[in-house]
Chain A
Amino acid sequence: MKALAAIFARELRLAARAKAEWLMPPLFFVIVVTVFSFGTKPNDPQLAAFAPAVLWVGALLAALLSLERLYRTDQEDGTLEQLLVSRTALSFAVFVKGLAHWLLSGLPIVLLAAPLGLMLGLAPPHLGPLVLGLALGTPCLSFIGGFVAALTVGLPRGGALLPVLVLPLIVPVVIFGAGSVRAAQQGLDAGAPLYFLAAILTLTLTLLPWLAAAALRNAFE
């Protein structure tokens, strides 16, 4: 437990030192959403219909931006090897790293989503499903992406491979996440897709750290 707390603290301390690294994904998110609005005609009322998709794709791209670094820096400075030989269970260490990644890249996006949703013309009552969906969905992105980052750690072309491997795996997250907002827009119950998202989140939180640990061990054998 103490070791896990130390890993968590280390992640945050490293992030505090490299501010540009974790400020970049939220900024990227804001820019993607803004640029999309420029692609449509000014004050297009249809923009609200696309808002869920735009916000979710933006969140996804922003998460991808920071995922490649998740294990690469640890691998370069030897921390990863220390983790592998240490007595701490690797899957728990991976879990903590995923949590830290979500805190630094997922949470800011969840917080930014509401104002950006308003900018895209989303009605205030529909912000609830959007923010709740992102709160449930962005950890899925961090953990699924973390698993793929563990698979590609140390590969020279890992950076280009990562999005290709992550995207097919997060299709259901995007469907349910953006779907809950659209359901709310159509006056349907937004709860059902959110429950599905919660189910997917439970699945990813329990299974993927374990598989990511197996992938890391495999990479170092």
Chain B
Amino acid sequence: MNWTWFHRLGSPPSFYRFAGRLAPWLGGFGLLLLAYGWYAGLVLAPPDYQQKDAFRIIYVHVPAAAVSLSLYVLMAVAGAVALIWRMKLAEAVMVATAPVGASFTALALVTGMLWGKPMWGAYWVWDARLTSELVLLFLYCGVIGLHAAFDDARAGARACALLAIVGLVNVPIVHFSVEWWNSLHQGSTVLKFGRPAISADMARPLYAGLLATYCLCAHAILRRAQNELLLRERNTRWVRELATELGGGARVS
């Protein structure tokens, strides 16, 4: 197998150009798909027979929750790559993922609360999924805070990578422990909802929303990774050339 493409992509200037070409497509496609998903979810999909119109929150809640977990795994994997192969690009991706993931974790929590109030009668229930999501938000915040505290970007990124990896082991343990904790007092049957097979009219917008959210996250991460590379490599030739090239056109757009 030929690995040159990989090494080429791993070098900051070529990744910067690659991300610059890919990101607009991801962003545009994601926005279009999201517009369809939300329109179909809010207008075309019929109300649920059990939850009526409140079920439509699924179209923002589920993508946010899915992305919050996936991005955490991505962050930890990028962190592991950064630690093992000392790859600058993986560090930049890891640092770029944290704020995006944190924002969607917060969204999943808030929409979960807004969904919980009409359905369970309470904004917050200490069940395993909600609590794990909350701990996930704390972990994201920890990574962001730790990175901000370091002056040296590389040492900061590697410290964050270690924290992210420990957190990755922590999340399933938290999930399991809260499940055990809930089993201590019986009768949390409020949470038991029948899970009927979801009809195609309801499922299609959900899948569209999921894909759209992944595209938009990828867009945001690529853009943030670009920023991180610009900052870190500000004294190298390619960044200086890029800056003067963009500055030559008077304003930076």
The answer to whether A183 and B142 have CB atoms under 8 Å apart is no
The answer to whether A169 and B167 have CB atoms under 8 Å apart is yes
Residue in B83, B145, B173, B174 whose CB lies within 8 Å of A164: B145
Query: Hey, which chain A residues are within 8 Å of B166, CB to CB?
Result: 147, 169, 208, 211
Query: Hey, which chain A residues are within 8 Å of B159, CB to CB?
Result: 151-152, 215, 218-219
A172 an interface residue at 8 Å Cβ cutoff? yes
Residue of chain B at shortest CB distance from A192: B180
Residue of chain B at shortest CB distance from A168: B138
The 9 closest A-B CB pairs, nearest first, are A168-B138, A172-B177, A175-B177, A165-B142, A172-B173, A218-B158, A155-B149, A168-B135, A175-B181
The answer to whether B150 and A155 have CB atoms under 8 Å apart is yes
Residue of chain B at shortest CB distance from A167: B138
Query: Hey, which chain B residues are within 8 Å of A44, CB to CB?
Result: none
Chain A residues 72-125 with CB under 8 Å of chain B are none
Output the least CB separation between B41 and chain A (Å): 32
B73 an interface residue at 8 Å Cβ cutoff? no
Residue in A151, A167, A172, A203 whose CB lies within 8 Å of B163: A151
- Please count how many residues in chain B sit with their CB below 8 Å of the partner chain's CB atoms: 29
Residue of chain B at shortest CB distance from A156: B149
Q: Chain B's interface: helix, strand, loop or mixed, by majority?
A: helix
A191 an interface residue at 8 Å Cβ cutoff? no
The answer to whether B184 and A183 have CB atoms under 8 Å apart is yes
Query: Hey, which chain A residues are within 8 Å of B142, CB to CB?
Result: 161, 164-165, 168
The answer to whether A158 and B149 have CB atoms under 8 Å apart is yes
A176 an interface residue at 8 Å Cβ cutoff? yes
Instruction: Give me 17 A-to-B residue pairs in the complex whose CB atoms sit less than 8 angstroms apart, sorted by A's number.
Output: A147-B162, A151-B163, A152-B149, A155-B150, A161-B146, A165-B146, A171-B131, A171-B174, A176-B177, A183-B184, A193-B180, A207-B169, A211-B165, A215-B159, A218-B158, A219-B155, A221-B155
- Please count how many residues in chain A sit with their CB below 8 Å of the partner chain's CB atoms: 36
Residue of chain B at shortest CB distance from A174: B177
> Interface digits, A192-214 against B, CB 8 Å rule (1 contact, 0 not)?
11001000100100011001001
Output the least CB separation between A19 and chain B (Å): 31
Query: Hey, which chain B residues are within 8 Å of A158, CB to CB?
Result: 149
A179 an interface residue at 8 Å Cβ cutoff? yes
- State in angstroms the CA–CA spacing of A155 and B155 once bound together: 11
- State in angstroms the CA–CA spacing of A50 and B159 once bound together: 37
Residue in A188, A203, A211, A221 whose CB lies within 8 Å of B162: A211
